[in-house]
């Protein structure tokens, strides 16, 4: 068996895109930052997955609402990511930026690189986490540069300026 701390340190070396996962419960928006998001399939139905720790306050809300929106963050969204990453700032999460409901009612960030509005298709339990598989029922793709916000080494980072110099 490997040491869990060593495993976490190793995984911190895997750079990942930063997303804000949102959902809606009784007219109240909820959200959190995630880096464990990936596409699963395109055909016959576009499907994404997001891995969510059961201790995250949105975990049970996603299960109850049966929907979520994956909002891919860009470099200018660094402060927004910090707000969504902190439970102390939960009351500020939806107070800035433009948010709109797409098909499911989950908030979509209008300035995101892309927003994938999903209906919950399946939940797979793995130890402390749930893997939520979502069928994409709506998509928002704004125009603009593609400079993603990333997470690596235990901190938020960007690649846009480095990628332009290659």
pLDDT tens for each residue of 111-126: 999 999 999 999 999 9
The answer to whether residue 69 is domain-embedded is yes
pLDDT for residue 110 is more than 60: yes
Whether 72 is covered by a domain: the verdict is yes
Residue 154 — left, alpha, or beta (φ > 0 → left; ψ -120 to 50 → alpha)?
Answer: left
The number of folded domains in the chain is 1
Domain harbouring 120, CATH code: 2.30.110.10
Containing structural domain, residue 24:
17-98+112-141
Residue 54 in domain? yes
Three-class SS of residue 7? helix
Band the pLDDT of 160: cuts 50, 70, 90: low
Residue 161 pLDDT class (50, 70, 90 cuts)? low
Q: What is the pLDDT of residues 122-154, one digit of tens each?
A: 999 999 999 999 999 999 999 988 899 999 999
Q: Is residue 73 a part of any domain in this protein?
A: yes
pTM above 0.75, yes or no: yes
What string of DSSP letters covers 24-89? Answer: EETTEEEEEEES-EEEEE-SSS-EEEEEEETTSTHHHHHHHHTEEEEEE-BGGGHHHHHHHH-GGG
Q: Which pLDDT score, from 0 to 100, does residue 146 have?
A: 86
């Amino acid at each position: 068996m490997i040491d869990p701390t060593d495993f976490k340190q190793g995984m911190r070396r895997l750079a990942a895109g930063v997303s804000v996962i949102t959902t809606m419960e009784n007219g109240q928006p909820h959200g959190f930052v995630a880096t464990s998001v990936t596409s699963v399939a395109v055909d016959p139905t576009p499907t994404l997955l997001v891995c969510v720790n059961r201790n995250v306050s949105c975990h049970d809300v996603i299960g109850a609402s049966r929907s979520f929106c994956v909002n891919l963050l860009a470099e200018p969204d660094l402060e927004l990511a910090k707000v969504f990453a902190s439970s102390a700032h939960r009351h500020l999460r939806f107070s800035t930026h433009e948010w709109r409901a797409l098909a499911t009612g989950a908030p979509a960030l209008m300035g995101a690189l892309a927003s994938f509005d999903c209906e919950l298709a399946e939940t797979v339990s793995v130890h402390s986490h749930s893997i939520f598989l979502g069928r994409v029922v709506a998509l928002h793709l704004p125009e603009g540069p593609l400079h993603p916000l990333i997470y690596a080494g235990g901190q938020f980072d960007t690649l846009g300026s480095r990628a332009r110099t290659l």
